[in-house]
Structure formats: C-alpha cells, structure tokens
Amino acid sequence: MRKNKGLFAGIIAVFIAFSSSIIMIGALVAMEIAENISDAIGDIFTIDSHIKERN
C-alpha cells in the first residue's frame, strides 16, 4: 500500500509540474501575441497621425 501511495504522489507531482510548464509556455506565447498586437495597433495609430499631418 505504501509503495502505491508513493507512486500516486509521484504521478500527481509530475502532473502538476507538467501542467505548470504548459501554463508558463502558454503565458509566454500570450505575452508575445499581445506584444505583436500592441505593435500593430501602434503602427495603425502612427499611420493615422502621419495622414493627419499631411492634411
């Protein structure tokens, strides 16, 4: 029984570590996407300001 308990705890620990690493990767990807979107929005606004300056 004790061996099975240790194995079960090990599986849970591995699952927690694995899921947390997936969450970390997901967060990094989300940050990268958000940065790209904010850059694109910034480009749109700078284009708008250039058009306004020409008029």
Residues in the chain: 55
- The enclosing H or E element of 17 equals helix 2-54
How confident is the model at residue 52, as a pLDDT?
Answer: 67
Give the other-Cβ count within 10 Å of 4's Cβ. 8
* Furthest C-alpha separation in the chain: 81
Give the other-Cβ count within 10 Å of 16's Cβ. 10
pLDDT digits (tens, 9 = 90+) for 4-43: 788 899 999 999 999 999 999 999 999 999 999 988 888 8
